[in-house]
Structure 1
Amino acid sequence: MSMHRKTYTLTEQQDGWVETQVENGHFGNDSECILGLVLKDKQAKERFAMLRQALVEGESSGVPKPLNILAIKAVGGAVIGVQ
């Protein structure tokens, strides 16, 4: 993967936030913080796209059936070992 050097201008408040993240040990340096934000945004957009696709699939899956909350609770209880 090729790397590209970029220069960004931050407000004083934004720079302070980045510095705080580094000082608190969340990132090793400013660049890691910015790269972390880019990755987090990318992952959020991917999750949103997956959710949107699931909703489209659900809407096109046919006529909905009535919700049986007792059956859902029974399955959920079995999964976590509670009856």
Structure 2
Amino acid sequence: MSTMNISLPEQMKAWVEEQTEDGKFSNLSHYVRHLIRCDQERAEVVRLTKAKYEKGLASGEPDPFDAEAFKKRMRRKHRPFRTRNELNPCPSSPGRSPDQHNRQQRRGWFPPG
């Protein structure tokens, strides 16, 4: 292993020493190695993010987004939850079968009230 000497302002030196004194790290070298590993991981995340960004740019123009079509799809998809009895969670209420009520409870959906 190689050795390096670094100069730190007193405030930083005190911080580094505090990190080893409270038991988080066994010595100053372990703390510095930890910081370097964290920086390497962060740099890798930045590299991967940039690569994904470049890939997105290279993929061409985005498909147009039709907000009205999206709203219609979502309304159709979630229509079972929009019954006239949604404020009454009783499974025997008219307009809602016990099976419908049980499915909604399993999904974590509970009507307000």
TM-score greater than 0.5 by the shorter chain: yes
Please report how far the alpha carbon of residue 82 of structure 1 lies from its aligned counterpart in structure 2 after TM superposition. Answer: 5.6
Please report how far the alpha carbon of residue 43 of structure 1 lies from its aligned counterpart in structure 2 after TM superposition. Answer: 1.0
Please report how far the alpha carbon of residue 24 of structure 1 lies from its aligned counterpart in structure 2 after TM superposition. Answer: 2.8
Correspondent of 1:34 among 24, 32, 35:
32
1:63 maps to 2:61: yes
Query: Do the aligned partners of residues 61 and 7 (structure 1) sit closer, same or farther apart at CA in structure 2, a change above 3 Å counting?
Result: same
Match of 2:52 in 1: 54
TM-score normalised per structure 2: 0.54
User: How high is the sequence identity, in percent, across the aligned residues?
Assistant: 28
Matched residue of 1:7: which SS? coil
Match of 1:78 in 2: none
Correspondent of 2:42 among 41, 44, 49:
44
Match of 1:76 in 2: none
Which has the higher Rg, Structure 1 or Structure 2? 2
Structural RMSD (CA): 2.5
Report the number of matched residues. 72
Correspondent of 1:21 among 19, 22, 29:
19
Query: Residue type of the partner of 1:19?
Result: E
| Structure 2 unaligned spans of 5+ | 75-106
Match of 1:75 in 2: none
Match of 1:6 in 2: 4
